[in-house]
Structure 1
Amino acid sequence: MNWNELLRLPATLLGILAALVLLFALFQLLAARQRVHERRHLAAGGHTLLLLIFITLGVLLAGMAVSLRGYRFLSEEEPVVQIDSRILSPQRWALTLTWPDGATRDVMLAGDDFQVDAVVLKWQLPAMLAGLPPLYRLDRVSGRYDDANQEMHAPRTVIDFSQAGQGDLLDLKKQFPRWLPEVDTVFGSGAFLPLVDGGHYAVGLMRSGALVARPDDATAQRIGQPLGD
Protein backbone atom coordinates (compact mmCIF):
# COMPACT_ATOMS: atom_id res chain seq x y z
CA MET A 1 0.00 0.00 0.00
CA ASN A 2 1.47 3.37 -1.04
CA TRP A 3 1.26 6.67 0.83
CA ASN A 4 -1.70 7.92 -1.24
CA GLU A 5 -3.70 4.81 -0.29
CA LEU A 6 -2.73 5.18 3.37
CA LEU A 7 -3.86 8.81 3.37
CA ARG A 8 -7.04 8.02 1.45
CA LEU A 9 -8.10 5.39 4.03
CA PRO A 10 -8.32 7.65 7.12
CA ALA A 11 -9.95 10.39 5.05
CA THR A 12 -12.64 7.95 3.92
CA LEU A 13 -13.15 6.59 7.44
CA LEU A 14 -13.40 10.10 8.86
CA GLY A 15 -15.97 10.98 6.21
CA ILE A 16 -18.06 7.92 7.05
CA LEU A 17 -17.76 8.65 10.77
CA ALA A 18 -18.81 12.26 10.19
CA ALA A 19 -21.89 11.08 8.28
CA LEU A 20 -22.82 8.69 11.12
CA VAL A 21 -22.39 11.39 13.75
CA LEU A 22 -24.57 13.80 11.74
CA LEU A 23 -27.15 11.02 11.40
CA PHE A 24 -27.20 10.69 15.19
CA ALA A 25 -27.62 14.48 15.33
CA LEU A 26 -30.69 14.11 13.11
CA PHE A 27 -32.12 11.51 15.50
CA GLN A 28 -31.55 13.90 18.40
CA LEU A 29 -33.36 16.65 16.50
CA LEU A 30 -36.37 14.40 15.91
CA ALA A 31 -36.32 13.27 19.53
CA ALA A 32 -36.14 16.87 20.78
CA ARG A 33 -39.14 17.85 18.65
CA GLN A 34 -41.07 14.87 19.97
CA ARG A 35 -40.31 15.80 23.58
CA VAL A 36 -41.42 19.39 22.94
CA HIS A 37 -44.75 18.12 21.61
CA GLU A 38 -45.04 15.97 24.73
CA ARG A 39 -44.27 19.07 26.86
CA ARG A 40 -41.27 17.28 28.39
CA HIS A 41 -39.04 20.35 28.25
CA LEU A 42 -36.22 18.98 30.40
CA ALA A 43 -35.85 15.92 28.17
CA ALA A 44 -36.08 18.16 25.08
CA GLY A 45 -33.23 20.28 26.47
CA GLY A 46 -31.07 17.17 26.92
CA HIS A 47 -31.68 16.07 23.32
CA THR A 48 -30.94 19.60 22.12
CA LEU A 49 -27.62 19.57 23.96
CA LEU A 50 -26.72 16.22 22.38
CA LEU A 51 -27.80 17.64 19.01
CA LEU A 52 -25.35 20.52 19.32
CA ILE A 53 -22.56 18.18 20.45
CA PHE A 54 -23.12 15.76 17.54
CA ILE A 55 -23.31 18.60 14.98
CA THR A 56 -20.06 20.11 16.27
CA LEU A 57 -18.32 16.74 16.26
CA GLY A 58 -19.62 15.90 12.79
CA VAL A 59 -18.41 19.20 11.35
CA LEU A 60 -14.98 18.70 12.93
CA LEU A 61 -14.68 15.17 11.53
CA ALA A 62 -15.80 16.33 8.09
CA GLY A 63 -13.24 19.14 8.18
CA MET A 64 -10.49 16.68 9.11
CA ALA A 65 -11.52 14.39 6.26
CA VAL A 66 -11.39 17.27 3.77
CA SER A 67 -7.99 18.35 5.12
CA LEU A 68 -6.52 14.87 4.74
CA ARG A 69 -7.94 14.70 1.23
CA GLY A 70 -6.21 17.95 0.40
CA TYR A 71 -2.85 16.75 1.72
CA ARG A 72 -3.20 13.58 -0.33
CA PHE A 73 -3.59 15.71 -3.41
CA LEU A 74 -0.50 17.71 -2.47
CA SER A 75 1.53 14.50 -2.29
CA GLU A 76 0.56 13.30 -5.75
CA GLU A 77 2.75 14.04 -8.76
CA GLU A 78 2.09 14.72 -12.42
CA PRO A 79 4.82 13.28 -14.70
CA VAL A 80 6.51 16.02 -16.72
CA VAL A 81 9.44 14.43 -18.57
CA GLN A 82 11.86 11.52 -18.35
CA ILE A 83 15.54 12.05 -19.09
CA ASP A 84 18.15 9.52 -20.23
CA SER A 85 21.78 10.64 -20.27
CA ARG A 86 24.85 9.47 -22.18
CA ILE A 87 28.33 10.96 -21.76
CA LEU A 88 30.14 12.19 -24.89
CA SER A 89 33.23 13.68 -23.24
CA PRO A 90 33.98 15.22 -19.84
CA GLN A 91 31.10 17.62 -19.03
CA ARG A 92 29.47 16.99 -22.42
CA TRP A 93 26.27 14.97 -22.53
CA ALA A 94 23.64 13.67 -24.93
CA LEU A 95 20.17 13.64 -23.37
CA THR A 96 17.00 11.98 -24.58
CA LEU A 97 13.85 13.64 -23.26
CA THR A 98 10.65 11.58 -23.25
CA TRP A 99 7.25 13.16 -22.57
CA PRO A 100 4.26 11.32 -21.03
CA ASP A 101 2.62 11.06 -24.47
CA GLY A 102 5.66 9.19 -25.83
CA ALA A 103 7.18 12.07 -27.80
CA THR A 104 10.98 12.32 -27.61
CA ARG A 105 13.70 14.86 -28.29
CA ASP A 106 17.50 14.53 -28.30
CA VAL A 107 19.56 17.45 -27.00
CA MET A 108 23.21 18.18 -26.18
CA LEU A 109 24.14 19.62 -22.80
CA ALA A 110 27.32 20.94 -21.16
CA GLY A 111 27.96 20.79 -17.42
CA ASP A 112 27.87 18.39 -14.50
CA ASP A 113 24.12 18.49 -13.84
CA PHE A 114 20.91 19.00 -15.75
CA GLN A 115 18.32 21.53 -14.60
CA VAL A 116 14.65 21.58 -15.60
CA ASP A 117 12.64 24.80 -15.20
CA ALA A 118 8.90 25.28 -15.60
CA VAL A 119 6.38 28.09 -15.26
CA VAL A 120 3.61 27.03 -12.85
CA LEU A 121 0.10 28.41 -12.32
CA LYS A 122 -1.24 27.55 -8.85
CA TRP A 123 -4.91 27.82 -7.87
CA GLN A 124 -6.46 29.26 -4.71
CA LEU A 125 -6.81 26.82 -1.78
CA PRO A 126 -10.54 25.96 -2.24
CA ALA A 127 -10.00 25.02 -5.88
CA MET A 128 -6.81 23.10 -5.03
CA LEU A 129 -8.51 21.08 -2.28
CA ALA A 130 -11.34 20.32 -4.71
CA GLY A 131 -8.77 18.54 -6.86
CA LEU A 132 -7.95 21.16 -9.50
CA PRO A 133 -4.29 20.53 -10.36
CA PRO A 134 -1.74 23.28 -10.97
CA LEU A 135 -0.98 24.07 -14.60
CA TYR A 136 2.56 24.17 -15.89
CA ARG A 137 4.53 24.92 -19.01
CA LEU A 138 7.99 23.39 -19.45
CA ASP A 139 10.25 26.38 -19.92
CA ARG A 140 13.80 25.11 -20.43
CA VAL A 141 16.40 22.42 -19.79
CA SER A 142 19.90 23.68 -19.10
CA GLY A 143 23.34 22.47 -18.05
CA ARG A 144 24.72 23.34 -14.64
CA TYR A 145 28.32 23.23 -13.38
CA ASP A 146 29.16 22.20 -9.84
CA ASP A 147 32.02 24.70 -9.71
CA ALA A 148 30.78 28.30 -9.38
CA ASN A 149 33.74 29.65 -11.40
CA GLN A 150 32.88 27.33 -14.30
CA GLU A 151 29.26 28.36 -13.98
CA MET A 152 30.36 31.95 -14.63
CA HIS A 153 32.88 31.36 -17.43
CA ALA A 154 32.43 27.93 -19.04
CA PRO A 155 30.16 27.42 -22.08
CA ARG A 156 26.49 27.27 -21.11
CA THR A 157 23.77 25.30 -22.88
CA VAL A 158 20.08 26.15 -22.57
CA ILE A 159 17.34 24.33 -24.47
CA ASP A 160 14.26 26.55 -24.78
CA PHE A 161 10.86 24.82 -24.63
CA SER A 162 8.71 27.92 -24.12
CA GLN A 163 5.99 28.03 -26.77
CA ALA A 164 3.66 30.56 -25.18
CA GLY A 165 1.92 32.93 -27.51
CA GLN A 166 -0.63 35.71 -27.36
CA GLY A 167 -3.52 34.71 -25.10
CA ASP A 168 -1.48 32.19 -23.13
CA LEU A 169 -3.21 31.55 -19.78
CA LEU A 170 -0.10 32.09 -17.66
CA ASP A 171 0.69 35.38 -19.36
CA LEU A 172 -2.92 36.53 -19.11
CA LYS A 173 -2.75 36.14 -15.33
CA LYS A 174 0.25 38.48 -15.21
CA GLN A 175 -1.29 41.03 -17.57
CA PHE A 176 -4.91 40.91 -16.33
CA PRO A 177 -4.90 39.43 -12.79
CA ARG A 178 -8.56 40.35 -12.14
CA TRP A 179 -9.71 38.14 -15.00
CA LEU A 180 -8.63 34.98 -13.17
CA PRO A 181 -9.58 35.46 -9.50
CA GLU A 182 -9.20 31.74 -8.68
CA VAL A 183 -5.53 31.81 -9.66
CA ASP A 184 -3.30 32.08 -6.61
CA THR A 185 0.03 32.85 -8.24
CA VAL A 186 2.26 32.30 -11.27
CA PHE A 187 5.83 31.37 -10.44
CA GLY A 188 8.91 29.54 -11.67
CA SER A 189 9.91 26.13 -10.36
CA GLY A 190 13.10 24.18 -11.03
CA ALA A 191 14.94 20.98 -10.13
CA PHE A 192 18.42 19.66 -10.92
CA LEU A 193 20.41 16.44 -10.45
CA PRO A 194 23.96 15.26 -11.28
CA LEU A 195 24.42 13.58 -14.65
CA VAL A 196 25.92 10.10 -14.97
CA ASP A 197 26.55 7.95 -18.02
CA GLY A 198 23.54 5.74 -18.64
CA GLY A 199 21.45 7.67 -16.13
CA HIS A 200 17.67 7.65 -16.09
CA TYR A 201 15.67 10.38 -14.34
CA ALA A 202 11.99 11.17 -13.85
CA VAL A 203 10.81 14.75 -13.41
CA GLY A 204 7.36 15.38 -11.95
CA LEU A 205 5.21 18.25 -10.73
CA MET A 206 3.68 18.03 -7.25
CA ARG A 207 0.23 19.44 -6.45
CA SER A 208 2.00 22.19 -4.52
CA GLY A 209 3.54 23.34 -7.81
CA ALA A 210 7.08 22.18 -6.98
CA LEU A 211 9.13 20.36 -9.59
CA VAL A 212 10.92 17.25 -8.32
CA ALA A 213 13.59 15.21 -10.10
CA ARG A 214 14.37 11.63 -9.08
CA PRO A 215 16.91 9.13 -10.43
CA ASP A 216 16.07 5.45 -10.68
CA ASP A 217 17.79 3.06 -8.28
CA ALA A 218 20.74 2.24 -10.55
CA THR A 219 21.32 5.92 -11.33
CA ALA A 220 21.09 6.88 -7.65
CA GLN A 221 23.79 4.33 -6.81
CA ARG A 222 26.07 5.72 -9.53
CA ILE A 223 25.51 9.28 -8.36
CA GLY A 224 26.60 8.23 -4.87
CA GLN A 225 29.83 6.60 -6.06
CA PRO A 226 33.11 8.52 -5.63
CA LEU A 227 34.63 9.91 -8.81
CA GLY A 228 36.74 7.35 -10.65
CA ASP A 229 34.75 4.29 -9.46
Structure 2
Amino acid sequence: MNWNEVLRLPTTLLLMLTGVVLLLVLAQLLAARQHVRNRRHLAAAGHSLLLVVLLLVAALLGGTAMSLRGYRFLSEEQPVAQIDARILSPQRWALTLTWPDGAARKLMLAGDDFQIDAIVLKWKLPAMLAGVPPLYRLDRLSGRYDDASQETTAARTVIDFSQAGAGDLFDLKKQVPGWFPEVDTVFGSAAFLPLVDGGHYSVSLMRTGALVARPDEATAQRIGQSFGG
Protein backbone atom coordinates (compact mmCIF):
# COMPACT_ATOMS: atom_id res chain seq x y z
CA MET A 1 0.00 0.00 0.00
CA ASN A 2 1.36 3.41 -1.01
CA TRP A 3 0.65 5.64 1.97
CA ASN A 4 1.67 8.74 0.02
CA GLU A 5 -1.20 8.10 -2.40
CA VAL A 6 -3.61 7.29 0.43
CA LEU A 7 -2.81 10.58 2.15
CA ARG A 8 -2.85 12.57 -1.09
CA LEU A 9 -6.51 11.71 -1.86
CA PRO A 10 -8.10 13.15 1.31
CA THR A 11 -5.74 16.11 1.12
CA THR A 12 -7.05 17.03 -2.34
CA LEU A 13 -10.65 16.45 -1.26
CA LEU A 14 -10.27 18.59 1.84
CA LEU A 15 -8.71 21.42 -0.17
CA MET A 16 -11.59 21.26 -2.64
CA LEU A 17 -14.11 21.37 0.22
CA THR A 18 -12.23 24.33 1.71
CA GLY A 19 -12.63 26.16 -1.60
CA VAL A 20 -16.36 25.43 -1.69
CA VAL A 21 -16.82 26.66 1.89
CA LEU A 22 -14.89 29.85 1.08
CA LEU A 23 -17.26 30.48 -1.82
CA LEU A 24 -20.16 30.11 0.62
CA VAL A 25 -18.39 32.57 2.93
CA LEU A 26 -18.22 35.07 0.08
CA ALA A 27 -21.91 34.56 -0.67
CA GLN A 28 -22.82 35.16 2.99
CA LEU A 29 -20.65 38.29 3.05
CA LEU A 30 -22.42 39.73 -0.02
CA ALA A 31 -25.82 38.82 1.41
CA ALA A 32 -24.99 40.44 4.76
CA ARG A 33 -23.84 43.66 3.04
CA GLN A 34 -27.04 43.77 1.01
CA HIS A 35 -29.20 43.37 4.14
CA VAL A 36 -27.24 46.13 5.89
CA ARG A 37 -27.87 48.46 2.96
CA ASN A 38 -31.58 47.60 3.11
CA ARG A 39 -31.55 48.14 6.89
CA ARG A 40 -32.58 44.57 7.62
CA HIS A 41 -30.22 44.26 10.55
CA LEU A 42 -31.61 41.01 11.95
CA ALA A 43 -31.15 39.22 8.63
CA ALA A 44 -27.67 40.75 8.30
CA ALA A 45 -26.75 39.45 11.75
CA GLY A 46 -27.92 35.95 10.80
CA HIS A 47 -25.78 35.94 7.66
CA SER A 48 -22.83 37.32 9.63
CA LEU A 49 -23.13 34.54 12.19
CA LEU A 50 -23.28 31.93 9.44
CA LEU A 51 -20.26 33.59 7.82
CA VAL A 52 -18.22 33.20 11.01
CA VAL A 53 -19.24 29.53 11.33
CA LEU A 54 -18.27 28.86 7.71
CA LEU A 55 -14.91 30.59 8.23
CA LEU A 56 -14.21 28.30 11.18
CA VAL A 57 -15.16 25.26 9.07
CA ALA A 58 -12.90 26.45 6.25
CA ALA A 59 -10.02 26.95 8.69
CA LEU A 60 -10.56 23.46 10.12
CA LEU A 61 -10.69 21.82 6.69
CA GLY A 62 -7.69 23.76 5.42
CA GLY A 63 -5.66 23.07 8.55
CA THR A 64 -6.44 19.35 8.35
CA ALA A 65 -5.47 19.29 4.67
CA MET A 66 -2.14 20.99 5.39
CA SER A 67 -1.45 18.57 8.24
CA LEU A 68 -2.04 15.58 5.96
CA ARG A 69 0.13 17.22 3.32
CA GLY A 70 2.89 17.56 5.87
CA TYR A 71 2.70 13.91 6.87
CA ARG A 72 2.90 12.91 3.22
CA PHE A 73 6.05 14.96 2.88
CA LEU A 74 7.49 13.43 6.03
CA SER A 75 7.29 9.98 4.47
CA GLU A 76 9.09 10.98 1.28
CA GLU A 77 12.80 10.33 0.91
CA GLN A 78 15.66 12.16 -0.73
CA PRO A 79 18.29 9.98 -2.48
CA VAL A 80 21.75 10.37 -0.96
CA ALA A 81 23.96 7.73 -2.57
CA GLN A 82 24.13 4.32 -4.24
CA ILE A 83 26.75 1.84 -2.97
CA ASP A 84 28.10 -1.16 -4.91
CA ALA A 85 30.32 -3.68 -3.12
CA ARG A 86 32.90 -6.17 -4.39
CA ILE A 87 34.84 -8.49 -2.09
CA LEU A 88 38.65 -8.52 -2.33
CA SER A 89 39.40 -10.92 0.52
CA PRO A 90 37.66 -11.84 3.79
CA GLN A 91 36.55 -8.59 5.45
CA ARG A 92 38.17 -6.49 2.71
CA TRP A 93 35.95 -4.71 0.20
CA ALA A 94 36.07 -2.41 -2.80
CA LEU A 95 33.13 0.00 -2.78
CA THR A 96 31.84 2.35 -5.44
CA LEU A 97 29.73 5.28 -4.20
CA THR A 98 27.56 7.03 -6.77
CA TRP A 99 25.96 10.37 -5.90
CA PRO A 100 22.56 11.54 -7.24
CA ASP A 101 24.32 13.80 -9.78
CA GLY A 102 26.13 10.80 -11.29
CA ALA A 103 29.57 11.48 -9.76
CA ALA A 104 31.28 8.39 -8.36
CA ARG A 105 34.05 7.57 -5.88
CA LYS A 106 35.89 4.27 -5.34
CA LEU A 107 36.90 3.28 -1.79
CA MET A 108 38.52 0.41 0.08
CA LEU A 109 36.83 -0.74 3.28
CA ALA A 110 37.63 -3.22 6.04
CA GLY A 111 34.89 -4.96 8.05
CA ASP A 112 31.72 -7.01 7.73
CA ASP A 113 29.34 -4.06 7.29
CA PHE A 114 29.42 -0.53 5.99
CA GLN A 115 28.14 2.37 8.08
CA ILE A 116 27.36 5.77 6.62
CA ASP A 117 26.93 8.82 8.85
CA ALA A 118 25.41 12.22 8.13
CA ILE A 119 24.88 15.48 9.97
CA VAL A 120 21.26 16.60 9.62
CA LEU A 121 19.73 20.03 10.14
CA LYS A 122 16.02 19.75 10.88
CA TRP A 123 13.56 22.66 10.69
CA LYS A 124 10.83 23.47 13.18
CA LEU A 125 7.33 22.09 12.61
CA PRO A 126 5.73 24.97 10.63
CA ALA A 127 8.51 24.98 8.04
CA MET A 128 8.64 21.17 7.95
CA LEU A 129 4.88 20.85 7.33
CA ALA A 130 5.17 23.50 4.62
CA GLY A 131 7.45 21.10 2.78
CA VAL A 132 10.89 22.55 3.57
CA PRO A 133 13.23 19.52 3.51
CA PRO A 134 15.91 18.91 6.13
CA LEU A 135 19.48 19.71 5.14
CA TYR A 136 22.21 17.13 5.42
CA ARG A 137 25.93 16.75 4.96
CA LEU A 138 27.53 13.32 4.67
CA ASP A 139 30.09 13.01 7.43
CA ARG A 140 31.86 9.68 7.00
CA LEU A 141 31.76 6.11 5.74
CA SER A 142 33.28 3.45 7.96
CA GLY A 143 33.71 -0.30 8.23
CA ARG A 144 31.95 -2.18 11.02
CA TYR A 145 32.68 -5.66 12.39
CA ASP A 146 29.93 -8.03 13.52
CA ASP A 147 32.09 -9.23 16.40
CA ALA A 148 32.23 -6.42 18.97
CA SER A 149 35.58 -7.63 20.33
CA GLN A 150 37.07 -7.44 16.83
CA GLU A 151 36.06 -3.78 16.66
CA THR A 152 38.72 -3.00 19.26
CA THR A 153 41.58 -4.94 17.64
CA ALA A 154 41.04 -5.24 13.87
CA ALA A 155 41.97 -2.69 11.23
CA ARG A 156 39.49 0.14 10.97
CA THR A 157 38.53 2.13 7.90
CA VAL A 158 37.03 5.60 8.17
CA ILE A 159 36.55 7.78 5.07
CA ASP A 160 35.94 11.42 5.93
CA PHE A 161 33.41 13.22 3.70
CA SER A 162 33.40 16.45 5.69
CA GLN A 163 34.65 19.48 3.79
CA ALA A 164 33.10 22.09 6.05
CA GLY A 165 34.89 25.39 6.55
CA ALA A 166 34.69 27.99 9.28
CA GLY A 167 31.44 29.38 7.88
CA ASP A 168 29.64 26.05 7.64
CA LEU A 169 25.91 26.34 8.49
CA PHE A 170 25.90 23.32 10.79
CA ASP A 171 28.80 24.63 12.84
CA LEU A 172 27.35 28.14 12.95
CA LYS A 173 24.07 26.76 14.34
CA LYS A 174 25.98 25.17 17.23
CA GLN A 175 28.14 28.23 17.83
CA VAL A 176 25.46 30.92 17.45
CA PRO A 177 22.05 29.21 17.86
CA GLY A 178 20.16 32.51 18.10
CA TRP A 179 21.00 33.35 14.49
CA PHE A 180 18.81 30.54 13.14
CA PRO A 181 15.49 30.56 15.05
CA GLU A 182 13.69 28.33 12.50
CA VAL A 183 16.23 25.53 12.94
CA ASP A 184 14.87 22.90 15.30
CA THR A 185 18.00 20.84 15.88
CA VAL A 186 21.27 19.62 14.39
CA PHE A 187 21.96 15.95 14.98
CA GLY A 188 23.79 12.92 13.64
CA SER A 189 22.09 10.12 11.77
CA ALA A 190 23.61 6.81 10.66
CA ALA A 191 22.68 3.61 8.87
CA PHE A 192 24.57 0.34 8.36
CA LEU A 193 24.06 -2.92 6.47
CA PRO A 194 26.03 -6.16 5.99
CA LEU A 195 28.31 -6.25 2.95
CA VAL A 196 27.99 -9.06 0.38
CA ASP A 197 29.88 -9.60 -2.85
CA GLY A 198 28.04 -7.91 -5.70
CA GLY A 199 25.80 -6.08 -3.26
CA HIS A 200 23.93 -2.95 -4.29
CA TYR A 201 22.56 -0.54 -1.68
CA SER A 202 20.52 2.65 -1.77
CA VAL A 203 20.97 5.32 0.90
CA SER A 204 18.32 8.01 1.36
CA LEU A 205 17.25 10.67 3.83
CA MET A 206 13.69 10.79 5.13
CA ARG A 207 11.91 14.07 5.83
CA THR A 208 12.21 13.27 9.52
CA GLY A 209 15.99 13.46 9.12
CA ALA A 210 16.56 9.70 9.49
CA LEU A 211 19.21 8.20 7.22
CA VAL A 212 18.03 4.91 5.68
CA ALA A 213 20.05 2.24 3.85
CA ARG A 214 18.33 -0.51 1.85
CA PRO A 215 19.69 -3.44 -0.19
CA ASP A 216 18.11 -4.28 -3.53
CA GLU A 217 16.19 -7.56 -3.80
CA ALA A 218 19.15 -9.69 -4.95
CA THR A 219 21.39 -8.23 -2.24
CA ALA A 220 18.76 -8.85 0.43
CA GLN A 221 18.63 -12.51 -0.62
CA ARG A 222 22.42 -12.82 -0.36
CA ILE A 223 22.36 -11.20 3.08
CA GLY A 224 19.71 -13.67 4.17
CA GLN A 225 21.79 -16.59 2.89
CA SER A 226 24.90 -15.34 4.68
CA PHE A 227 22.96 -15.34 7.95
CA GLY A 228 21.47 -18.74 7.29
CA GLY A 229 18.03 -17.34 6.36
Does TM-score exceed 0.5, indicating one fold? yes
Q: Deviations over 1:70-102 (max 9, x none)?
A: 112111111111100111222221111111111
Three-state SS of the structure 1 residue aligned to 2:32 is helix
2:129 is matched with 129
Answering whether residue 91 of structure 2 is matched by residue 101 of structure 1, we say no
Q: 3-state DSSP class of the match of 2:225? A: coil
Q: Which amino acid aligns with 1:17?
A: L
1:169 match: 169
Alpha-carbon distance between aligned partners in 1 of 2:226 and 2:170, rounded to the nearest angstrom: 42
Counterpart of 1:99, as a letter, is W
Could you give the per-residue CA deviations for residues 44-65 of structure 1, whole angstroms, max 9, x where no partner exists? 3432332222111100000011
1:20 aligns with 2:20: yes
1: CA distance between counterparts of 2:43 and 2:147?
Answer: 78
CA drift at 1:214? 0.8
Counterpart amino acid of residue 19 in structure 2: A
Determine the structure 2 residue equivalent to 1:78.
Answer: 78
**Structure 2: 5+ residue runs without aligned partners?**
none
Structure 2 counterpart of 1:190, which letter? A
Deviation at 1:43, TM superposition (A): 3.4
- Greater Cα offset, 66-75 or 5-14: 5-14
The number of residues matched between the two structures is 229
What's the CA shift for 1:168? 1.0
Q: Partners in 2 of 1:110 and 1:191 — Cα distance?
A: 17
CA shift at 1:115, angstroms?
A: 0.5
Measure the CA separation in 1 of the matches of 2:14 and 2:210.
Answer: 29
Q: CA deviation at 1:41?
A: 4.3
Q: Which residue of structure 1 aligns with residue 61 of structure 2? A: 61
Measure, in 2, the Cα distance between the counterparts of 1:152 and 1:64.
52
TM superposition outliers: structure 1 runs of 4+ over 6 Å = none
Distance 1:87 1:228, change over 3 A: farther
How far 1:169 moved relative to its partner?
1.1
Alignment of 1:38-57 (within 5 A): 38-57=38-57
- Partner Cα distance (2:32, 2:65) in 1: 29
Distance 1:211 1:228, change over 3 A: closer
Per the TM alignment, residue 226 of structure 1 is displaced from its structure 2 partner at its CA by 4.6
**RMSD between superposed Cα atoms in Å:** 1.9
Paired letter, 1:107:
L
Deviation at 1:129, TM superposition (A): 2.2
State which drifts further: 75-84 or 128-137: 128-137
Compute the displacement of 1:128 (Å): 1.9
Q: Does 1:185 align with 2:185?
A: yes
Q: Which moved more, 1:59-68 or 1:45-54?
A: 45-54
Alpha-carbon distance between aligned partners in 2 of 1:155 and 1:87, rounded to the nearest angstrom: 16
Taking the aligned partners of 1:228 and 1:75, their CA distance within structure 2 comes to 32
Kindly state the Cα deviation for residue 7 of structure 1 after the two structures are TM-superposed: 2.6
Distance change (3 Å), C-alpha of 1:182 and 1:43: same
For 2:153 and 2:18, how far apart are their aligned partners in 1? Answer: 62
Please tell me whether residue 8 in structure 1 is matched to residue 8 in structure 2: yes
CA distance in 2 between counterparts of 1:177 and 1:136 reads 17
* Aligned-pair CA distance for 1:208: 1.2
Q: Do residues 147 (structure 1) and 147 (structure 2) align?
A: yes
Counterpart position of 2:32: 32
2:222 match: 222
The offset of 1:228, in angstroms, is 6.8
Tell me the TM-score normalised to structure 1 length.
0.92
Q: Deviations over 1:109-139 (max 9, x none)?
A: 1221111001111122222222222111110
